[in-house]
Amino acid sequence: MSAPRVTTAPKVVAVTATSPAALSGLRSGDELLSLNGRSPRDVIEYSLLVDEPELDLVVRRRGVAEPFAVEVRKEAGEPLGIEVSSAVFDRVRTCDNHCEFCFIHQLPTGMRRSLSMKDDDYRLSFLYGNFTTLTRFTEMDLERVLTERLSPLFVSIHATDPDVRAGLLRNRRGATSLRWLGALLAGGIEVHGQIVVCPDRNDGAVLEDTLAGVLDRYPELATVACVPLGVSTFSHEDAMRPHTVEEAAAVCDLVERWQGTFLEAIGRRMVYAADEYYLMAERPFPPAATYEGFPQHENGLGMARAFEAAFGGDEHAALGVRPGFFAAVDGAPATGYRAPRQAPDGTTATDGHDERSTGRPVAILTGEYGARVLAPLIDSLGRDDIRLVPVRNDFFGGNIGVSGLLTGTDLTAVLADQPAGHRYLLPDSCLSEGRFLDDLTLADLPRPVEVVPTDGLSLRRALDGNGPDTAPSPTPATPARVPVTLGAPR
């Protein structure tokens, strides 16, 4: 039997026992060459096909000479019961911008190959929340997004002045590609924007002009995040430098002023400064209510306030990365920064002792920014068995201080000087499928650690499991300043 030719095909990596897929004989390693005569381009199209009650598959199996047919019969909408290996089955649309501030260009050699893959694919924006500049967006893409209602999308704006934006992206199409943003919004697509603010390039008057342009041309945007430039010691761009304290404060002032303007004009604040700005400016964060539901929590907007509230017992504030499209898709692969944070077998590294045993001193490993938000929260517990261990990011250097960019190398150096027998808690944001950015694993660390989800409620529960059995820890008071971004790298 001949099969349709495809560039790649969905590859089965797991089959759920007793599922329709298992009962039909599908196995891990099988390639699905076609589903009801169609070869899906991506998991979006795949998810629509596998929703059907009658599935006629063409399967290629290792060790079998020819592709063969498999019939699956199930209830409409019933999960097929398999997990596929990737989100995109044709070719990922790579980025052809050459942004001075791109962090991928600031990675040292020897990192995992997947970290150096730059995408500018609207499908990955929809699936994972990746930001796209729309410089490779087309009329066909627009038609598909509007027809299939691929929403929300996440768009890198950076500047609304065409010349400034083209210069920042180092791509002449950057001057015109925001026309697609207008078309998406006109079509009713929810879009969240981002501005990476670079000193002397798109801050100050340029940022002022950008926010004015957003209000004038794109008032339907859901949110706009102003995030600071991250500069590692591996940057080769002389013009890129960290913000000064005064520059960070100026961004906070400008954003808060424009929040008032947006609130008056459209009834919501729309624009927010990332937590790191308040941290760099040495200012307290705005009240939690001003974040209007934390719509860009995973991008570092209000993450510290949400962490604080969750640590105090508010279960509704225990926010994490939004599951998005994949929450309702059978077989969707969890890749990128939404990949499972612990090891593939679901375990954490331990030394054989009870991870929740009482009486053992506990140390919280966190980035330098993380230590500053956690310090007042831990102090409010009134316990002497908990200490913070800030980990300086010597691997990347520069102004990199978020916990999500901690590496196994820096953790190894710090843990080597820590006492044995203590509990060591590590936020899961610095891991992807049990691996750090430098490809080390939990097993490579010189001390056993416990991986804790990066939210305040999870940390509080981990700490309460170590405390006295006689009484619960007191609810922490709201600190005057809660400065840190604990989340995954952007």
CA nearest neighbour of 448 among 299, 339, 347, 307:
347
Three-state DSSP class for 85?
coil
CATH of the structural domain 103-301, one choice from 1.10.260, 3.20.20, 2.60.120, 3.40.50: 3.20.20
**Span 357-365, average pLDDT:** 83
Q: What is the pLDDT of residue 334?
A: 57
Q: What is the pLDDT of residue 102?
A: 78
Burial class for 22, CB neighbours closer than 10 Å (0-12, 13-18, 19+): middle
Give the H/E segment covering residue 191.
strand 191-197
Looking at the predicted structure, is the pLDDT value of residue 38 above 70? Answer: yes
Q: What is the pLDDT of residue 332?
A: 59
Q: How far apart are the C-alpha atoms of 211 and 254, rounded to whole Å?
A: 10
Three-state DSSP class for 199?
coil
The per-residue DSSP string of 312-349 comes to TT-GGG---S--GGGGG-TT----GGGS-SS-TTS---
Written out in words, the top-level CATH class of the domain with range 12-84 is: mainly beta
Lowest mean pLDDT among 181-195, 209-223, 251-265, 449-463: 449-463
Looking at the predicted structure, is the pLDDT value of residue 478 above 50? Answer: no
At residue 148, what are phi and psi to the nearest 5 degrees? -90, 0
Q: How far apart are the C-alpha atoms of 223 and 219, rounded to whole Å?
A: 10
Q: What is the pLDDT of residue 413?
A: 96
Looking at the predicted structure, is the pLDDT value of residue 211 above 60? Answer: yes
From-to residues of CATH 2.30.42.10 in the chain: 12-84
Q: What is the pLDDT of residue 480?
A: 29
Q: How confident is residue 488, by pLDDT bands cut at 50, 70 and 90? A: very low
Q: What is the pLDDT of residue 330?
A: 58
Which tens digit of pLDDT belongs to each residue from 224-262?
999 998 888 877 778 888 899 999 999 999 999 999 999
Average pLDDT of the chain to the nearest whole number: 83
Q: What are the tokens at 170?
A: 């180092």
Which tens digit of pLDDT belongs to each residue from 289-303?
999 988 888 888 998
Q: How confident is residue 476, by pLDDT bands cut at 50, 70 and 90? A: very low
Tokens 């942004």 -> residue? 99
Q: What is the pLDDT of residue 7?
A: 60
For 318, residues 6+ apart whose C-beta sits below 8 A from its C-beta are 306, 310, 455, 456, 457, 458
Which tens digit of pLDDT belongs to each residue from 96-138?
878 887 777 667 766 666 565 667 788 888 888 889 999 999 9
Lowest mean pLDDT among 132-141, 279-288, 400-409: 400-409
Burial class for 268, CB neighbours closer than 10 Å (0-12, 13-18, 19+): middle
Q: What is the pLDDT of residue 150?
A: 92
Taking CA atoms, 182 is separated from 155, 178, 189, 218, 397, in Å, by: 11, 7, 10, 7, 38
From-to residues of CATH 3.20.20 in the chain: 103-301
For 171, residues 6+ apart whose C-beta sits below 8 A from its C-beta are 96, 97, 98, 133, 135
